């Protein structure tokens, strides 16, 4: 067999490859090849054989060992994407330092470059064949695509040229003069993306060369990568029509306008040396009509000529691909292979068994990119062997089910988890190893020790007494015999509550959290580290609560919150006090921008050993004569924002959490708390991607919420809160939750929520659509807030309307919060006067 091997010295000023052609029979033993060079750091750029590289920096001699083997035994492995924040949230801190003006753009770029380099090295060391690039983002990968296409809304004042940080971050966060673009959930995950705003007049132009820049960056490090682009059709389907054309404009009508930019990007990547490009088209897993499916056919037919000399993979994830979409996908022109999620999309396997295009590659996503449980390697290997029998050994690539963006970074950084639970888990770094181990096993190089340890961990988890609590299982099973509704209708309850609370029209409130200062975080950190006593901790938290209470009273807010100074996170705080939960020290996952969350791990049956919030809520209520909200996180949100056990149905776990929250609600009521908010910020997030599965999910999710408060008195007012999703399509389920008051995000999404009421939906409970976006540092004016409230009054009754921000204020600074809330209260005061006249 003739073999050409290229080596590139890793030297900043030397970018040429040196080809060496040798001939070796495939049956030959390992060949040693010695090379003497003025540059000691050699790395193999390409070879059909496995290459081991050994270097002697003193003698400038590199020793390479080549082991011939047949093509059939090649290990084919692939990672869809990887977390970008860094193992210690390096990107988060770099971003926030840059936004605060404490560091330069160059400082931020250096941190980003180091993170990318480390990720590529990690995957190279793990022998991953297809390593992704362009999955890093300073804020969001969809926003990156908007920048690539030059689709900047006019309000940001972009005049052309390469898009820089000023315009990029203004779109993401807003600035002093203009609001940010809408942010919403990425499919059914807790990640948020920046929604493109597209109208008939948008001028697409190649305005960000990030994809090719990152490919070249990796190449200079000696790493060949697969550039990843969000596909053109999914980009359009995930966008929204620009203001003023919402009801008349077809986003897919822009397809012909964006494809020339994609052609430019592909051409530039090909010119840089890319041989494989990954197009993410996740909307293929959704319910698409004939016109939408036809758009895929048209797009890739148009792109086919630019794919000449390239391999192209279309990646899907988060669910199975419907039969018609599968037929469309596997018929696309110019496409070399397809990526499928076999964790959440098991039905796709049946389609592949029935028919798979001859000669195409199958990227099999068998390692879960959305949860932290160790892969059942034996079961995955069985699936892979079944697929191998269908598509052929040389056409099968082992992959992750989706980007590892949605899981924690590295289990090696965890000291908080005990040994048993740790053995059950795999974070992103470990999942990369699982992909490699499965690929090796498929190639006949099974690591028996790794597989044996994995089997032991799987058995340990199944048999551990920590997982099962028979009393909890029995109580949850009994919930199915009732729908758990409050005895009185919402209108009668609101009358009873008004008599007790005596609130003015357009009552004002906030969503729960107040700014978490550096000093406050220090107090919590020192208490956890046993550096201050419990007495000192309680004293500090009481002082913070008193400050927040007085602050709200001075602003003249009607229904107060205690600010949640004792809470690190709205889910983790509760999970830490519930049985069946485990917690990490560094299991951070990006939610949006620099915002990271540390999801709890639900490993067993859930119960509440003792009250969780009663002490703090009672303390806060004792500081004021105004109503003080008891603040809880609802069962569906706790479920959807945790890493959930995968050994029983999700609804069973949710019912267990609901029972625990029910106990807390009733204890708050007994303690004299008359307003209790049970946040369900993530209810919409968990909605399945396919309409055929919506009813089942919504039935048990809404039921779980009603379980929490079905036993309280009519005079106890139950609030809930939702944010950053499209709620219009589930409005009837929201009504069925039977809450007394719902506060809901509205301003960031450009008041899209109000359209459902304009279309005739009647809502009889209290409702507070948010009047300003809290995820932007921008301070809204009194006039802007008053205008928003007037728009609400045009479609909602005065006696049910509440006034509040979009969401909690935890991430903001007091310098932003005080003027924003002052303007909100003053706007209400103005409108009350007008309404009185």
Catalytically active residues, by annotation: 775
Closest Cα to residue 748, out of 781, 778, 706?
A: 778
Using DSSP, state whether 633 is helix, strand or coil. Answer: strand
Tell me how far apart the alpha carbons of residues 65 and 53 are, in angstroms, rounded to a whole number.
7
Closest Cα to residue 653, out of 476, 482, 462?
A: 476
The DSSP symbol for 200 reads: T
Tell me how far apart the alpha carbons of residues 329 and 295 are, in angstroms, rounded to a whole number.
11
Maximum alpha-carbon separation in the chain: 96
253: left (phi over 0), alpha (psi -120 to 50) or beta: alpha
What is each CA distance from 572 to 275, 312, 367, 635, in whole angstroms?
44, 41, 26, 13
751: left (phi over 0), alpha (psi -120 to 50) or beta: left
If one counts every other C-beta atom within 10 angstroms of the C-beta of residue 674, the result is 20
The DSSP symbol for 558 reads: S
Using DSSP, state whether 355 is helix, strand or coil. Answer: coil
Asked if residues 775 and 713 have their Cβ atoms less than 8 Å apart, the reply is: no
Contacts of 531 (CB under 8 A, 6+ apart): none
Say what angle helices 428-442 and 448-463 make with each other, to 10 degrees.
120
Using DSSP, state whether 279 is helix, strand or coil. Answer: strand
How many Cα atoms occupy the beta-carbon half-sphere of 59 within 13 Å? 9
Tell me how far apart the alpha carbons of residues 309 and 775 are, in angstroms, rounded to a whole number.
44
Closest Cα to residue 328, out of 285, 361, 364?
A: 285
If one counts every other C-beta atom within 10 angstroms of the C-beta of residue 592, the result is 21
Quick one: CA dihedral 806, 812, 817, 820, positive or negative? negative
Q: Which phi and psi (to 5°) does residue 285 adopt?
A: -85, -5
Quick one: CA dihedral 741, 744, 747, 752, positive or negative? negative
How many Cα atoms occupy the beta-carbon half-sphere of 282 within 13 Å? 20
Token pair in block for residue 741: 């008051």
Tell me how far apart the alpha carbons of residues 572 and 374 are, in angstroms, rounded to a whole number.
22
Q: Which residue's structure tokens are 């758009």?
A: 295
What is each CA distance from 368 to 353, 372, 376, in whole angstroms?
22, 8, 10
Complete DSSP assignment for 43-110: EEEE-SS-EEEEEETTTTEEEEEE----GGG---BB-S---SS-TT-HHHHHHHHHHTTSS-HHHHHH
């Amino acid at each position: 067999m003739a073999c050409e091997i290229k080596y590139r010295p890793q030297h900043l000023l030397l970018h040429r490859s040196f080809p060496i052609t040798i001939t070796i029979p495939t049956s030959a033993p390992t060949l040693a090849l010695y090379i003497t060079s003025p540059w000691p750091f050699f790395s193999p750029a390409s070879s059909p054989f496995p290459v081991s590289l050994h270097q002697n920096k003193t003698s400038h001699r590199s020793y390479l060992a080549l082991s011939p083997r047949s093509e059939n035994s090649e290990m084919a492995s692939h990672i869809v994407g990887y977390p970008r924040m860094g193992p210690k949230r390096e990107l988060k801190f770099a971003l926030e330092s840059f936004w605060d003006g404490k560091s330069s753009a160059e400082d931020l770029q250096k941190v980003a470059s180091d993170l990318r380099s480390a990720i590529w090295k990690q995957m190279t060391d793990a022998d991953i064949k297809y390593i992704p690039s362009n999955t890093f983002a300073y804020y969001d990968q969809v926003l990156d695509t908007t920048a690539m296409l030059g689709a900047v809304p006019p309000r940001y004042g972009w005049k052309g040229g390469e898009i820089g940080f000023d315009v990029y971050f203004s779109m993401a966060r807003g600035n002093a003069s203009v609001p940010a673009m809408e942010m919403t959930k990425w499919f059914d995950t807790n990640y948020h993306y920046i929604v493109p705003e597209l109208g008939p007049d948008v001028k697409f132009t190649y305005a960000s060369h990030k994809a090719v820049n990152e490919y070249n960056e990796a190449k200079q490090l000696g790493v060949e990568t697969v550039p990843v682009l969000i596909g053109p059709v999914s980009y359009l389907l995930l966008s929204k029509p620009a203001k003023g054309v919402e009801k008349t404009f077809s986003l897919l009508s822009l397809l012909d306008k964006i494809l020339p930019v994609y052609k430019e990007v592909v051409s530039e990547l090909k010119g840089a040396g890319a041989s494989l490009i990954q197009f993410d088209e996740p909307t293929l897993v959704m319910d698409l009509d004939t016109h939408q499916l036809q758009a895929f056919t048209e797009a890739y037919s148009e792109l086919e000529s630019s794919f000449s000399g390239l391999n192209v993979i279309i990646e899907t994830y988060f669910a199975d691909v419907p039969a018609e979409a599968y037929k469309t996908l596997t018929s696309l022109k110019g496409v070399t292979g397809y990526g499928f999620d076999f964790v959440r999309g098991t039905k796709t396997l049946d389609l592949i068994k029935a028919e798979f295009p001859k000669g195409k590659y199958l990227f099999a996503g068998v390692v879960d990119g959305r949860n932290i449980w160790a892969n059942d390697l034996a079961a995955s290997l069985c699936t892979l062997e079944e697929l191998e029998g269908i598509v052929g050994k040389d056409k099968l690539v082992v992959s992750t089910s989706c980007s590892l963006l949605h899981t924690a970074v590295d289990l090696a950084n965890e000291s908080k988890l005990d040994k048993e639970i740790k053995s059950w888990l795999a974070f992103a770094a470990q999942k990369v190893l699982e992909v490699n181990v499965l690929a090796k096993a498929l190639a006949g190089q099974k690591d028996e020790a790794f597989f044996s340890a994995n089997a032991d961990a799987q058995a340990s988890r199944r048999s551990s007494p920590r997982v099962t609590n028979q009393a909890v299982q029995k109580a949850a099973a009994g919930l199915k015999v009732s729908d758990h509704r409050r005895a009185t209708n919402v209108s009668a309850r609101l009358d009873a509550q008004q008599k007790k609370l005596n609130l003015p029209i357009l009552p004002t409130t906030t969503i729960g959290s107040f700014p978490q200062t550096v000093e406050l975080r220090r107090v919590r950190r020192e208490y956890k580290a046993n550096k201050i006593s419990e007495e000192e901790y309680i004293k500090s938290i009481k002082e913070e609560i008193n400050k927040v209470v007085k602050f709200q009273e001075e602003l003249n807010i009607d229904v107060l919150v205690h600010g949640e100074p004792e809470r690190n996170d709205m889910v983790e705080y509760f999970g830490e006090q519930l049985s069946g939960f485990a917690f990490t020290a560094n299991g951070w996952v990006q939610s949006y921008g620099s915002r990271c969350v540390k999801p709890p791990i639900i490993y067993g049956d859930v119960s509440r050993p003792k009250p969780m919030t009663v002490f703090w809520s009672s303390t806060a209520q004792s500081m004021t004569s105004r109503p003080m909200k008891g603040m809880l996180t609802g069962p569906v949100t706790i479920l959807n924002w945790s890493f959930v056990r995968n050994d029983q149905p999700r609804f069973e776990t949710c019912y267990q959490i609901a029972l625990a929250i029910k106990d807390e609600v009733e204890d708050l009521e007994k303690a004299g708390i008359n307003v209790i908010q049970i946040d369900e910020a993530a209810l919409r997030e968990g909605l399945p991607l396919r309409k055929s599965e919506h009813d089942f999910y919504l039935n048990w999710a809404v039921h779980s919420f009603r379980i929490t408060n079905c036993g309280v008195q009519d005079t106890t007012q139950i609030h809930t809160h939702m944010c950053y999703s499209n709620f219009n399509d589930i409005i009837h389920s929201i009504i069925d939750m039977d809450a007394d008051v719902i506060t809901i995000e509205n301003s960031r999404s450009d008041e899209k929520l109000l359209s459902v009421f304009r279309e005739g939906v009647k809502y009889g409970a209290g409702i507070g659509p948010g009047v300003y976006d809290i995820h932007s540092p921008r301070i809204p004016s009194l006039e802007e807030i008053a205008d928003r409230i007037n728009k609400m009054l045009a479609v909602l009754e005065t006696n049910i309307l509440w006034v509040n921000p979009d969401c909690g204020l935890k991430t903001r600074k007091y310098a932003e919060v005080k003027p924003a809330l002052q303007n909100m209260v003053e706007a209400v005061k103005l409108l009350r006067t007008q309404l009185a006249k």
